[in-house]
Structure formats: C-alpha cells, structure tokens
C-alpha cells in the first residue's frame, strides 16, 4: 500500500511522539505502507521541524 502524507502531518509526528500523526509515522517505519513524497516536500518538513525544535 502507498500513502501520501501532508508535510504538516510529518512535522507533527516528529514534534509530538503521541497522537495520530506519530502513529502514522510508526506504521510507515514498521513497513506497513510505502510513503510517497517528493524530495522537495520532505526537505520542507525537515526544515520546519528543525526550525520549531531549535528556534533562532
């Protein structure tokens, strides 16, 4: 199965280890589905996560 997740879902999953976004991330990491995402969107999600974790 393949899934496309909004970058905000990925960001939420990274920032908060509980809740639905984190559960989706765990299912993906467990190999239950293939995440379909462009490199551009993945880069966006990582940058936003880092920015929120380490504010300037």
> Whole-model pTM?
0.69
**Which of 49, 51, 54 has its CA nearest to residue 16?**
49
Spans of all domains in the chain: 2-53
For the stretch 1-48, pLDDT in tens is 999 988 888 888 888 889 999 999 999 999 999 999 888 988 887 888
Regarding predicted confidence, which is higher, 26 or 50? 26
Where residue 56 falls among pLDDT bands split at 50, 70, 90? low
């Amino acid at each position: 199965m393949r899934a496309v997740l909004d970058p905000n879902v990925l960001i939420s999953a990274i920032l908060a280890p509980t809740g639905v976004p984190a559960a989706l991330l765990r299912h993906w990491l467990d190999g239950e589905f293939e995440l379909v995402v462009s490199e551009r969107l993945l880069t966006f999600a990582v940058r936003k996560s880092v920015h929120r974790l380490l504010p300037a």
